[in-house]
Structure 1
Amino acid sequence: MKQYRLLALDLDGTLLNDRSEISETNAQWVRHAVEAGVTVCVSTGRGFQGALPIVEQLGLDSPMITVNGGEIWTKPHSLHRQTLLDVEKVMKLHALAERHPDVWFWAYSTEGIYNKEKWAGDATAFRWLKFGYYTEDVPVLNEILREIRDWEGLEISNSSPYNIEINPVGVSKATALMELCRMKGFDMSEVVSVGDSLNDIAAIRASGLGVAMGNAQDEVKLAANAVTATNQEDGVAQVIRNYVLRT
């Protein structure tokens, strides 16, 4: 029977419930996985500062994937690789956001996060990792998506049905996991990836076992080998129990 050595967990909508909390059941089963020798890797669209409190709460000292693979960490505070988004692209994405005054936007730089309320004065002075848009006006979101799909050099995904996330082309949780496997001496067939959104699809498809949350977007469920319970029902704990540890 296949032994899985690396468990890659998305945060929002996956490990975290709708209040952005880790349930005690999920935390307990993550600890069981670590005790069994499984490398548990947080794999998130969040930046490092947003992901770190979760990692610390779980007591993990393992690799991290942040900003959808834009940053790979060998362990917390130990950066292995950073892939930057071209500043000219960021300025163009920002100009597009400004044409849609009702749309929320944000961008991760290596120094921190900037958004509609607090934008970087001179974008060229920063090193950028990811740009995003959010609106529940789906026709407007689709209009933005149609436009940026024609631009070169972008990797486009989402972390909710109401947002668009943009990284440099070729950057994804999947490519980051492949790099982590190379570093750790694992094969991708030994990886379990769990997620709920389009930014998880590449990793779910590339891993030995790809699992969609019960609350995942339909496209994610179609890409997965299995579907677990929702993030409100300790779906991650079920994955660990049923597939990783098989208890």
Structure 2
Amino acid sequence: MKYKLIAIDMDGTLLNSKNEISKKNKEAIKKVTDKGVKVVLSTGRIFPSALHYAKSLEIETPIISCNGAYVAEHGKLNIIYEKPISVEASKEVINLAEKKGIYYHFYDDTTFFARRFSETVNNYYKLNEKIDEKERIDIRIIDNPIEIIDSEKPLVYKFVFVEDDREKLLEFRKEAIKIDGIEVASSWWNNVEIMNKGVSKGRALIELCNVLNIDRSEVVAIGDNENDIPMLKIAGLSIAMGNGEEEVKKIANVVTKTNDESGVGEAIEKFVL
């Protein structure tokens, strides 16, 4: 078989609009893994969330989480690659968000820090109900993020800033990119995501391929949004979702069906199996 690894984004790609993995997607992934192809979840989400979905697929494979800032093995939890944001950059990012009055949250490998209760926080509480107790996400609503950074010194892998006012979000992004030591991306129309400089799903995928001794030409990458572009660019076959952003479709080799039409399963059947 030509391809040895398939890197799949989660939100807007593997997951449908109900945050579920369709039967067709599951069956295609089962078929391809039975043939010896590795299926790697590549997501901006915190690690335990991705681990939960990997378990539901019954695949034991490395997981790329936090937009590529944290890569670990499923089951063993051995860290393959990690690149947290520096304390100094974290503080600058926090101060800018507070100045602009934009909601944000950030996380390490297991702890989710949020400035207030939000839809995302609520979704993670619901997810915790489905996760084994020892693997649940530690969710914390905090009043003073700078104090947390100073006292607890968490390894912050990613910040997410959410704002429905596009002009306000764009202005925040323009100022954020001036901060030294960070990488700025987006995974949805109303968010900005910040990681350590050089961090991306593409960089993480390269590191993983080196560990697994897999050539980039043997990799398939499937995604839908801006933060997926780096991994699509390095893959031997890049596949954009039908519901994906136009800039993603432009750089992809092919476009599959939407996430609500089991586009991942369709692509695996057509181009890999």
Alpha-carbon distance in structure 2 between the residues aligned to 1:3 and 1:80: 25
In structure 2, what residue type is equivalent to 1:187? D
Alpha-carbon distance in structure 1 between the residues aligned to 2:95 and 2:260: 38
Alpha-carbon distance in structure 1 between the residues aligned to 2:174 and 2:16: 31
What is the aligned partner in structure 2 of residue 157 from structure 1?
185
Correspondences of 1:81-160 after superposition (within 5 Å): 81-101=81-101, 103-117=102-116, 118-119=141-142, 120=145, 121-124=147-150, 125=152, 126-160=154-188
Which has the larger displacement, 214-223 or 106-115? 106-115
Uncovered stretches (5+) of structure 2, i.e. residues with no partner: 117-140
In structure 1, what residue type is equivalent to 2:162? Y
Contact between 1:195 and 1:216, CA under 8 Å: does it hold in 2? yes
| Secondary structure at the counterpart of residue 150 of structure 1 | coil
Q: How far apart are residue 111 of structure 1 and its match?
A: 4.5
Contact between 2:12 and 2:224, CA under 8 Å: does it hold in 1? yes
Q: Is 1:209 matched up with 2:208?
A: no
Alpha-carbon distance in structure 2 between the residues aligned to 1:122 and 1:57: 33
Q: Is 1:234 matched up with 2:262?
A: yes
1:32-65 deviations in Å (ceiling 9; x for gaps)? 1101111000000011111111000000101110
What is the aligned partner in structure 1 of residue 210 from structure 2?
182
Contact between 1:157 and 1:165, CA under 8 Å: does it hold in 2? yes
In structure 1, what residue type is equivalent to 2:231? A
| Secondary structure at the counterpart of residue 105 of structure 1 | strand
Question: What is the TM-score normalised by the length of structure 1?
Answer: 0.95
What is the aligned partner in structure 2 of residue 72 from structure 1?
71
What is the aligned partner in structure 2 of residue 244 from structure 1?
272
Alpha-carbon distance in structure 2 between the residues aligned to 1:3 and 1:105: 42
Change (3 A) 1:165 1:115: same
What is the aligned partner in structure 1 of residue 28 from structure 2?
29
Contact between 1:6 and 1:190, CA under 8 Å: does it hold in 2? yes
Aligned length: 243
Identity %: 36
Alpha-carbon distance in structure 2 between the residues aligned to 1:190 and 1:183: 14
| Secondary structure at the counterpart of residue 59 of structure 1 | coil
Uncovered stretches (5+) of structure 1, i.e. residues with no partner: none
Alpha-carbon distance in structure 1 between the residues aligned to 2:200 and 2:79: 17
In structure 2, what residue type is equivalent to 1:127? L
Alpha-carbon distance in structure 2 between the residues aligned to 1:214 and 1:59: 26
Contact between 2:45 and 2:67, CA under 8 Å: does it hold in 1? yes
What is the aligned partner in structure 2 of residue 172 from structure 1?
200
Contact between 1:161 and 1:217, CA under 8 Å: does it hold in 2? no
In structure 2, what residue type is equivalent to 1:15? L
Alpha-carbon distance in structure 1 between the residues aligned to 2:190 and 2:250: 19
Alpha-carbon distance in structure 2 between the residues aligned to 1:183 and 1:74: 12
